[in-house]
A and B are shown apart, each in its own frame.
Chain A
Amino acid sequence: MQLKKVNISTLLLALTMAVMLTLAPGTASADNKPEKVTVIYGGSSWLGHYPAWVGMEKGLFKKHGLGVLFQNFYASSGRMGSLIAGDLDVASTGSISAIALMAVGNKSFFAFGTQDSYATVEGIIARDGINSLKDLKGKKLAAPFASSAHVLVLDLLQQAGLDPEKDLTLLNLKVNEMPAAMSSGEIDACAAWTPHFNKLLNMKGNHLLANDTEFSLYKKYKLGPGPDLLVVRKDFAQKYPNTCNAFVKGYFEAIDMLINKPEECAQVLVKLTNLNMEDQMTVLKDIEWIPGSKQKALMSDPGDFVKGMQKLGDFLTRHGQIDQSPMVKDWVTTDMLP
C-alpha cells in the first residue's frame, strides 16, 4: 500500500514536471525567447559566411539565447540540398544554386536577406599578352561550371561578341585547380574568386582582365553574377519564429561589427579561412557589408536586389543553364528582417 502511495505521488510529480516542460516553450515564445536554442547553419570559408562565424566567435548569438552550429560545405548546391532535406536550418548560399532550386519548383525555403557585395574579388585573370576579352579568341579559358564565375564568363563573352562554343575552349575547372593549370600553361585564362583569385593575381605573368564590376547586371543593379543570399528552411521559419528573429539580430550585429571593427573580426576569421592577418584584412577591405537597416529596402518587391535576381534567373534561362526562370519574389520574405 505504502509502495502504491509512493508510486502515485511520483507519478503526479512526473506529470506536473511534464506539463511544466510542455508549457515552457509556450512561455518562452510569449517572452520572445527562442523556441529552439540551437540553429544549424550551412557555411564554408567563403567571405559570405564571415558574419555567422563572427557572431558565433564573438558571442553575439549567445547574447540572444542562441547556439549556432556551423556546418561546412564545399559548394552552395550541397548546402542547398542539405537545407531542403532538413539537415540545415539557415544558410548563406550563392544565388545561382538558390535560383536553380526555385526553377525546379522547390518551395521549402525562403530567401530573407543579402549580406555583402564583393565585385572586386572575383574576375577573369589572364596570362600576359591577352589584353582584352576579344584576345581570348582561340584560347583556353577555365571556369567552374554552375558558379558565379561561370555566369560572369558567359556574360562577358557575350558582351565581347564571342561564342563560348565556337570561338574559344571553355573548360570546367575548380578554382583550387586553377593556379597549377595556369602555371603549367594548360590554360590561358581563368575565372575565379577569392582567395584563389588573389593567389592567381599574385602569380608572375598574370593580370586581371575583368572583374564583377563589368557584369551587365552589376552595371544596372549593382548585382554581381552570384550574389550571396541568406536562406531559411520554410518549416523552420514557421515553427520557430523567435529563434529566427534571434538569429537575424545576432547576424546583423555581426555585420555591424565587421563594418566598425574589422581588425577585431579578422582575428577570429583567420581561424575559419587560414589566411594570415594581412591577407584577411585585404579581403575584408574588398567587401561591402550590407547592414540590417538596408535589408528591407533591398529585399522588398520591387527592390533592386529582387529585380536583379529576377534578371539573373532570366539570364540563366537564356544561356540554357536552367529550364525556366522562376518568379523570384515568391521565395522572398521580409518578415524576419529588423
Chain B
Amino acid sequence: MDKENHSSKPIIISIISLTLFLGIWELVCRGGLIDPVFMPAPSKIFARAVKLIGNGELMAHTLASTRRVMVGFMISSMVAIPFGIFLGSSRLFMAICDPFISLLRPLPSMSWIPLSLLWLGITETQKYSIVFMGSFAPSLLYIIEATKSIDPLLIRAARNLGASKLDVMREVILPGALPQIISGLKVMLGIAWTCIISAELVAAREGLGFMIMNGKEYFQTDTVMLGMVMISITVMVIDVVFKKFERRLLPWTR
C-alpha cells in the first residue's frame, strides 16, 4: 500500500503541474495578453484537434509521417548496426572511414534536400532518404561506441578458450553491445522525427511536417502547435512500444 502511494506520487505531481501550466496558458490567452496568432489558447488547439480528427485529416497526417520516419529510420538502422559493429571491432577500417563519418555527422537533414531532389526526384524515396541521412551518422557513431565499450579482456578470454572471430562476435560482442545499441536507437528514433519537417518540405501533401508548414502559411498557429504536439505524442507512443520490444529482446537486462 505504502509502496503504491510512493510510486503514484510523481504521476500526480506531473498531472498537477501540467494542469496548472495549461490553466495559466489558457487564462493568459483569454485575457488578451497574447495575440492568438503568436500563441493560441490550449482550448483552440484542442478544438482544432477535434475538427481534424473528425474529418480524418489528423490521423492521415500522423500515419504518413510515421511511415516516412519508420521506413527511413529502419533502413538507417539496418545499415548502421552491422556497419557500426564492424567499424567498432576493426581499428583499420575505423581509421579508413573516420574522416567520412566526421564529414557526414554535422550535416543537418535539411542540407540534403537539394541533392536528394536531384538524385531521387520528388518521390516518397526522397522523403525516406532525408530521414535516413538525418539519422544514419549519429546512429552509426552510437553503435561504434557501444561496440568499443566491450571489455577487451572478455574478447581475449574468449579467444584463449578457442572461440573463432564469428563466435566472439556472436557470443561476446553482440550480447554485450546490444543493450547500448538499443538505447542509442531509442534516442536516434527521436532524432529521426526531427527530420520530418525537412522531409515533408518538398512535394508533400500530407504528414505532420506538411501540416505544420501549411498551417504557418495560413497563420493557423493552432494547427502548427497541434502538429508539434502530435509529433511529441507519436514519439512517446513509439517509445513505449520500443521499451516493450527491448524487454523481449534483451531479457537479461531486466
Q: Please report A residues at the B interface, Cβ cutoff 8 Å.
A: 75, 77, 80-81, 84-85, 97, 100-101, 103-106, 108, 142, 145-146, 170-174, 177, 180-181, 184, 186-187, 321-323
Q: Is the CB of B202 within 8 A of A174?
A: yes
Cross-chain contact A172 with B121 (CB below 8 angstroms) = no
Task: Tell me whether B210 is interfacial, beta carbon within 8 Å.
Answer: yes
What total of A-B pairs shows CB separation below 8 Å?
68
**Contact partner, B217, options A97, A173, A187, Cβ 8 Å:** A97
* Complex Cα gap A146–B213 (Å): 10
Q: How far is the CB of A185 from chain B (nearest CB, A)?
A: 9
Having A172-B214, A177-B122, A181-B203, one finds 10 other A-B pairs with CB under 8 Å, namely A100-B220, A104-B219, A104-B221, A171-B122, A171-B203, A172-B204, A177-B202, A177-B203, A180-B117, A186-B122
Which residues in B have some Cβ–Cβ distance to A below 8 Å?
35-38, 117-118, 121-123, 202-205, 210, 214, 216-221
Taking a contact as CB atoms under 8 Å apart, the answer to whether A146 and B217 are in contact is yes
Residue in contact with B203 in the complex, picked from A81, A142, A323, CB distance below 8 Å = A142
- Please tell me if the beta carbons of B217 and A100 are within 8 angstroms of each other in the complex: yes
Out of B35, B38, B202, B216, name the residue touching A173 (CB < 8 Å).
B202
Q: How distant is the Cα of A48 from the Cα of B205 in the complex, in angstroms?
A: 28
Please, how many angstroms separate the alpha-carbon atoms of A184 and B121 in the complex? 8
Q: How many Å lie between the Cα of A172 and that of B211 in the bound state?
A: 12
Contact of A322 among B117, B203, B210, B218 (CB under 8 A): B218
Instruction: Check if B35 sits within 8 Å of A106, measured CB to CB.
Output: yes
Least CB distance from A33 to B in Å reads 33
**Within 8 Å CB of A106, what residues of B?**
35, 37, 219
Do A101 and B117 have beta carbons less than 8 Å apart? no
Chain A: CB-nearest residue to B121: A186
Taking CB atoms, residues of chain A closer than 8 Å to B36 are 104-105
Q: Which residues of A contact B216 (CB under 8 A)?
A: 77
Pick the residue among A80, A85, A104, A181 that contacts B220 (CB under 8 A). A104
25 pairs of residues in contact across A and B, judged by CB atoms under 8 Å: A75-B217, A77-B216, A80-B219, A84-B37, A100-B217, A100-B218, A100-B220, A101-B37, A104-B37, A104-B220, A108-B35, A142-B122, A170-B205, A171-B203, A172-B204, A172-B210, A173-B122, A173-B202, A174-B202, A177-B122, A181-B121, A181-B122, A187-B122, A321-B218, A322-B218
Chain B residue nearest in CB terms to A170: B205
B82 to chain A, nearest CB (A): 33
**Minimal beta-carbon separation of B218 from chain A (angstroms):** 4
Assess the B218–A172 pair: CB atoms within 8 A. Answer: no
The answer to whether A145 and B214 touch across the interface, beta carbons within 8 angstroms, is yes
- The answer to whether B217 and A145 touch across the interface, beta carbons within 8 angstroms, is yes
Q: Report the 5 A-B pairs with minimum CB-CB distance, sorted nearest first.
A: A146-B217, A100-B218, A77-B217, A186-B121, A106-B37
Contact between A146 and B220, CB atoms less than 8 A apart: no
CA distance in complex: A122, B78 (Å): 46
Q: Which residue of A97, A145, A323 is within 8 Å of B205 (Cβ)?
A: A145
Between B117, B205, B219, the greatest number of chain A beta carbons within 10 A of the residue's beta carbon is seen for B219
Residues of B within 8 A of A85 (CB): 38
Output the nearest chain B residue to A142 by Cβ-Cβ distance: B203
- Tell me, in angstroms, the Cα distance from A84 to B36 when the chains sit together: 12
| Closest B residue, CB atoms, query A186 | B121
Shortest Cβ distance from A315 into chain B, in angstroms? Answer: 14
Asked whether A100 and B210 contact (CB < 8 A) given A173-B203, A181-B122, A186-B121, the answer is no
Residue of A nearest to B38 (CB): A85
- Contact residues in B for A321 (Cβ distance below 8 Å): 218
Residues of A within 8 A of B218 (CB): 77, 100, 103, 146, 321-322
Shortest CB-to-CB span from A143 to chain B, Å, is 10
A85 to B118, CA, bound (A): 37
A146 touches B121 (CB 8 A): no
Residues of A within 8 A of B37 (CB): 84, 101, 104, 106
A85 to chain B, nearest CB (A): 8
Q: Is the Cβ of B219 less than 8 Å from the Cβ of A100?
A: yes
Closest to B206 in A: A172
CA distance A103 to B122 in the complex (A): 32
CA distance A184 to B126 in the complex (A): 15
A177 and B219 form a contact (CB under 8 A): no
B-chain residues with CB within 8 Å of residue A97 when the two chains form the complex = 217, 219
Find chain B residues with CB under 8 A from A171 CB. Answer: 122, 203, 205
User: Complex Cα distance A172/B214, Å?
Assistant: 10
A173–B210 Cα gap in the complex (Å)? Answer: 12
Which of chain A's residues have a CB closer than 8 A to the CB of B117?
A: 177, 180
Complex CA distance for A173 and B205, rounded to whole angstroms:
9
Is there contact, CB below 8 Å, between A81 and B121? no
Chain A minimum-CB-distance residue to B55:
A320
